[in-house]
Amino acid sequence: MSVPLLELRGVTRRYKMPRAALLRAPAVLTAVNDISLTLVRGQTLGVVGESGSGKSTLARMIMAFEAPDEGTVLFEGTDLNRLGAAALRRARQRFQMVFQDPFGSLDPRRTVGWSIAEPLRVTRAPDIGRRVSEALDQVGLRAADAEKYPHEFSGGQRQRIAIARAIVTRPALLVADEAVSALDVSVQAQILNLLMDLQEELGLAMVFISHDLAVVACICDQMLVMRHGDSLEFGETEEVVANPRHEYTRTLLTASDI
- Summarised one tens digit per residue, pLDDT across range 81-130 is 999 998 998 899 999 999 887 777 788 999 999 999 998 887 777 789 99
Q: 60 pLDDT exceeds 60?
A: yes
34 CB contacts (<8 Å, ≥6 apart)?
A: 10, 11, 12, 70, 71, 230, 231
pLDDT digits (tens, 9 = 90+) for 14-49: 998 888 777 788 889 999 999 999 999 999 999 999
Angle, vertex CA 57, rays to CA 169 and CA 66, nearest 5: 65
Domains within the chain, CATH numbers bracketed: 6-255 (3.40.50.300)
Exposed e or buried b per residue across 212-251, where buried means at least 16 C-beta atoms within 10 angstroms of its C-beta: bbebbbebbbbbbbbbbbbbbbbeebeebbeebeeebbee
Compute φ and ψ for 105, nearest 5 degrees.
Answer: -95, 0
**How far, in Å, CA of 88 to CA of 75, rounded?**
11
User: What is the pTM assigned to this prediction?
Assistant: 0.91
- Nearest Cα neighbor of 166 from 224, 230, 228, 92 is 92
Q: Is the confidence at residue 53, as pLDDT, over 80?
A: yes
